Structure 1
């Protein structure tokens, strides 16, 4: 069983950080030692028995902090049990979930060396008041004013997130030595 777990994430406006924190809290409540850091701040994977990485998908890619994390720690991540979660659509409708799965499959094909033991797609959140330039331009564009796609919305399913986190110890136990 994994004793010390790194929960790390890339986030643009904090939604993925919130999900990563819920995962870290759930694992910690099970007695695991948890380190919780943004991916850009991780200096080493030495001493970790498992890694959980989270990133939103933006235009068919992970955020650059997640991509750099994967590149920086490639040799470690090939040896340590890993779990990956991504935040994709705001709502869990079949069309959007399939579209995000296709994007995720394309990413995973490009980094075929990375073999997480489990991968999960969660619905995300969007708070347009947090948008920074150039995203903040969407608030003032005529197309954005009455478009429901550009409204603050939180579609994160906290029950599903906690249940997924709760499943991780058993999955990590199955890692071959």
Structure 2
């Protein structure tokens, strides 16, 4: 039987891909199969009953490709079980502190409201300044963005386990 769950992501420097893969691993450990694909690899969301969609965040916005994917697939997503996540805040504080209360891109919030996701999560991100484009290097320098891997895998694991429990209760997977 094909997987009923898809984890779709958009990333610039692979940190969000690694989070998506970890979510897939946690679901698999719980006995649930999930496909993990970059947004540009997805041709038909209709094959799935549950969608976990995530994007890297830059200056308070999802990657352009992820934003377009959310907009383009609004109707089909509104008919599925959906979870959304963002990867981006950097620092040692809580997500709320490091993101200054940011939860989701303001311009995409109306779409998210119509889709009615089960949850919207924000996870700390990772930044390796040696891998950044010149523009992103400049932006991080001006904004005094700290470098390092700030992802908290225990929080990501707990979120994924919660999704797995919900999916099992709904008979999916």
Bin for the TM-score computed over the shorter chain:
0.7 to 0.9
Match 1:167 to one of 158, 162, 165? 162
Question: What does residue 39 of structure 2 align with?
Answer: 39
* Pairs within 5 Å for 1:137-148: 137=138, 144=141
CA distance in structure 1 between the aligned counterparts of 2:78 and 2:102, rounded to whole angstroms: 25
Match 2:101 to one of 99, 105, 108? 99
Gaps of 5+ in 2: none
Q: Judging changes above 3 Å, is the alpha-carbon distance between structure 1 residues 78 and 88 closer, same or farther for their aligned structure 2 residues?
A: same
Aligned residues: 165
Superposed displacement of residue 4, structure 1: 1.7
Deviations 1:24-81 (A, max 9, x none): 1111122222111101221111221200011122222111121121122222101010
CA distance in structure 1 between the aligned counterparts of 2:154 and 2:101, rounded to whole angstroms: 23
1:69 and 2:64 aligned = no
Find the structure with the greater CA-based Rg.
1
Q: CA RMSD in A?
A: 2.3
CA distance in structure 2 between the aligned counterparts of 1:28 and 1:170, rounded to whole angstroms: 12
Gaps of 5+ in 1: none
CA distance in structure 1 between the aligned counterparts of 2:119 and 2:134, rounded to whole angstroms: 34
Superposed displacement of residue 21, structure 1: 0.7
Question: What does residue 113 of structure 1 align with?
Answer: 114
Secondary structure of the structure 2 residue equivalent to 1:8: strand
Superposed displacement of residue 108, structure 1: 4.5
CA distance in structure 2 between the aligned counterparts of 1:59 and 1:74, rounded to whole angstroms: 23
Instruction: Kindly indicate whether the alpha-carbon contact (under 8 Å) linking 1:128 and 1:150 is maintained by their aligned counterparts in 2.
Output: no
CA distance in structure 2 between the aligned counterparts of 1:76 and 1:12, rounded to whole angstroms: 25
Q: Judging changes above 3 Å, is the alpha-carbon distance between structure 1 residues 66 and 125 closer, same or farther for their aligned structure 2 residues?
A: same
Question: What does residue 136 of structure 2 align with?
Answer: 135
